């Protein structure tokens, strides 16, 4: 019995180490898929018409289906932690759901919760310099997971959701910055006014994200457009 008791801590340590390795490998794979997707998007814009599939086969040894998978993941704007948590196929499906004309991401939120999500998109784009479309898609994903507001994600049920996947917790600076932004943004009274602010940032940064690498991004619907879509079944 004593031998068995001594063995359990060793097994627990092995399990923790193996689980951490699995999580890290999943994040690495997710980041590679995102990088491949962005490179494929750029390459597709450069390859001559009618030569895309032959180029994929001959130069990349890649099937069209795999290339589409990587590009959808890159276009989703989700960070590697989210892609790893979902898995590559599910992350690709999330992108398709976002662009489904029947998708309405905020159907379970109160009007105040929905307004705060719109403000969170503006906050990410304005204060933390996220690309606006990527910020909108990130918020749609969080809302789809039934988080009722940004505060619910940051400090409510969010930690319980992030912990099993080994996701990094938002910093105290980030949370304080959001709370300050929320408190000082009460003059933006309507969702339409908030959306105009987001659209103004979108117009300033142009059709590509402000990053060193050239990337072409599919323009998502505006935040106001999302509000007008009919209800779609969500997770």
Give per-10-residue mean pLDDT for the chain (235 aa): 75 91 87 88 84 93 89 78 75 57 68 90 89 79 80 87 75 93 84 89 65 37 42 37
Residue 226's pLDDT is what? 44
Residue 91's pLDDT is what? 66
Question: Tell me: the pLDDT tens digits for 84-110?
Answer: 777 777 666 655 554 444 556 677 788
User: Would you say 234 and 93 are in contact if contact means Cβ atoms under 8 Å apart?
Assistant: no
User: CB atoms < 10 A from the CB of 96, how many?
Assistant: 11
- The pair of structure tokens assigned to 208 is 């590509």
Helix spans in the chain (H): 2-46, 52-55, 64-76, 80-86, 88-98, 111-126, 132-144, 150-151, 158-162, 172-183, 191-205, 223-227
Question: Tell me: the pLDDT tens digits for 121-145?
Answer: 999 989 988 878 778 877 877 777 7
Q: What is the pTM of this model?
A: 0.51
How far is it, in rounded angstroms, from Cα 122 to Cα 197? 7
CA 171 to chain centre: 18
Phi-psi region of 50 (alpha: psi -120 to 50; beta: other; left: phi over 0): left
């Amino acid at each position: 019995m004593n031998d068995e008791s001594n063995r359990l801590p060793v097994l627990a340590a092995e399990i923790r180490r193996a689980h951490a390795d699995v999580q890290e490998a999943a994040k690495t794979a997710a980041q590679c898929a995102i990088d491949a997707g962005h490179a494929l998007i750029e390459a597709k814009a450069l390859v001559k018409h009618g030569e895309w599939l032959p180029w994929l086969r001959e130069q990349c040894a890649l099937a069209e289906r795999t290339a589409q998978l990587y590009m959808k993941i890159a276009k989703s704007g989700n960070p590697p932690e989210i892609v790893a948590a979902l898995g590559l196929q599910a992350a690709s499906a999330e992108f398709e759901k976002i662009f489904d004309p029947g998708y309405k991401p905020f159907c379970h939120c109160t009007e105040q919760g929905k307004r705060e999500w719109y403000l969170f998109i503006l906050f990410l784009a304005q204060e933390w310099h996220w690309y606006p479309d990527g910020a909108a898609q990130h918020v749609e994903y969080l809302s789809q997971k039934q988080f009722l507001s940004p505060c619910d994600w940051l400090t409510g049920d969010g930690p319980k959701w992030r912990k099993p996947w080994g996701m990094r917790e938002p910093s105290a600076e980030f949370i304080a910055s959001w709370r300050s932004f929320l408190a000082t943004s009460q003059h933006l009274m309507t969702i339409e006014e908030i959306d105009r602010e987001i659209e103004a940032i979108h117009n300033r940064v142009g059709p590509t994200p402000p990053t060193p690498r050239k990337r072409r991004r599919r323009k998502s619907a505006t935040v106001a457009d999302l509000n007008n879509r009919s209800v779609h079944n969500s997770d």
